[in-house]
Structure 1
């Protein structure tokens, strides 16, 4: 009888699971250390670590390319400084996951929320809405701010390829008070949520494989049009939500006035999506170092 040998596919799967567990252990150790510190110091430490570490990773080429396309008139030294701020913000966000419960505790100094009167009226009426934000500052906090306003909210998220890391992230996100809907096959779920009177939350600023080429920093970028489509299809307001990092451990969330839309036609969806892109661009221009831009945003080859 001959001994069994692992097939290439089985061996690859085994090594992938080992790599996943190693990554999860490293992240768990990072979070354990961050959790021992006050939130402000954890964010500062995470920011300092990734300001140094981030530019050494392969993701730096995406950051550099995105900033080059968004800010072609800036000199390379200025763009490099912004890239380090981008990494610093990412490190701060990563270190804040063990502290999401603190923000959920209602500390006004940690998380201040401002609501436009027009949107406040919608909330008081109990009308469902499509809330949209961008990957700026700590992009997890808008969902928490809306939940604290008493809004039943279903938020779309992109599951991590590493299932162990994904489970760890969802554990920390449980403090936010939202229901999370996986990005895959989410449209039917979101339509059902809106029909049932629940609001939905989306972050449509990142590249998607299923979207339309719309202007973003003066260049066509494949853009998700699902937020505008959902709002116009269900007759719900499309409400932008902006989050800004004021200092380590301190944030401001602004729930803005609804964006006006046209009829639920293709032209209406595209027009509303363009307005949303322009709004995101304005936010990023004000605070470029708080923008998560570690994936290819515009088409084109990235040099290794």
Structure 2
């Protein structure tokens, strides 16, 4: 659990404020610009700034393992695109309410006919997506379709940053469930007829070693487990950037699994990993890969 701001030692409280201040100023400036201009400004800033940060070593290592056939220059170009996309997404947080506005044309949503039938029947589903393009928008797109949705999120270690993020996310129309000990809450939500949403392309300490880009990677199997255990469809949702400040969210056909046995859960999780990999290979510069994804040391 994160420490409460008022109970933490004063040096930590001071550090939290110091970390949150530049982000708050960045968001205040971004809010003054139209969404496309804010995204373009954030993109340009982080395309320059990102490679200078310590996170660059994670980006570089992940791309090296995912694309060993590429040369250093090609991977460096992808890394700059990764930072560019991250900067655009960061600048768009103050504008999530504008994407949610009725008639907003900046967010286009497509729903596969098979999934549309399930939604029209009122069936709850397990929606799963990856950290691609703006990964916050699938939740908004589903909420705009009238789907009651509980989304899992990872609270930030800095409570001030976490509070600012959650204020921006309130425009998405979802309920948010902290990642810690979320399975019980998600099971209750599905039983009550609510759908759930998860981001499951990143490394987890509580998963299984499954292939990802041809290498074993710790992978969350909770999406497949929840869907098979509760008899709910597992529906992939893909966000893609069309232009700065403009997106398309595609709600795809459900992935069909065999049974809720361990073998069935792992098989469905492998299919989901393969699907995420295909998305990333199409648009590698739109993938958030700033955390260690595969085992192994990263040189400082």
TM-score norm. by structure 2 comes to 0.97
Question: Would you say 1:207 and 2:203 are equivalent positions?
Answer: yes
The root-mean-square deviation of aligned C-alpha atoms, in Å, is 0.8
Give the CA deviation at 1:16.
1.6
- What residue in structure 1 maps to residue 295 of structure 2? 299
Rate the CA distance shift 1:251–1:191 in 2: closer, same or farther, 3 A: same
Say yes or no: does 1:87 pair with 2:89.
no
Correspondences of 1:73-84 after superposition (within 5 Å): 73-84=69-80
Which residues of structure 2 form unaligned runs of 5+? 1-7
Secondary structure of 2:240 counterpart: strand
2:38 maps to 1:45: no
Corresponding residue of 2:19: 23
Unaligned 5+ segments in structure 1 are 1-11
Look at both structures and tell me which one has the larger radius of gyration over its CA atoms: 1
Contact kept? 2:233, 2:255, Cα under 8 Å: yes
For 2:102 and 2:132, locate their aligned partners in 1 and report how far apart those are by CA, in whole Å. 21
- Deviations for 1:114-161, whole angstroms, at most 9, x for unmatched residues? 000000001100000000000000000000000000000000000000
CA deviation profile, 1:220-268 (whole Å, cap 9, x unmatched): 0000000000000000000000000111000000000000101100000
Match of 1:284 in 2: 280
Which among 152, 175, 186 is matched to residue 182 of structure 2?
Answer: 186
Alignment size in residue pairs: 293
Q: What is the rounded CA distance, in whole Å, between the counterparts of 2:211 and 2:102 in structure 1? A: 38
| Structure 1 segments of 4+ aligned residues over 3 angstroms from their partners | none
2:98–2:104 Cα contact (<8 Å) kept: no
Q: In the aligned structure 1, how far is the partner of 2:87 from the partner of 2:227?
A: 34
Per-residue deviation at 1:48?
Answer: 0.2
Equivalent pair of 2:150/2:186 in contact (CA under 8 Å): yes
- What SS is found at the alignment partner of 1:154? strand
- Work out the CA distance in 2 between the residues paired with 1:116 and 1:273: 21
Aligned pairs for 1:144-159 within 5 A: 144-159=140-155
What is the distance in 1 between the residues matched to 2:184 and 2:33?
41
Query: Is the contact between residue 35 and residue 245 of structure 2 (CA under 8 Å) also seen in structure 1?
Result: yes
For each residue in 1:79-122, what CA deviation from the matched residue of structure 2 results, as whole angstroms up to 9, or x when unmatched?
Answer: 00000000000000000000000100134530000000000001
- Once the two structures are TM-superposed, the CA of residue 26 in structure 1 deviates from its matched residue by 1.0
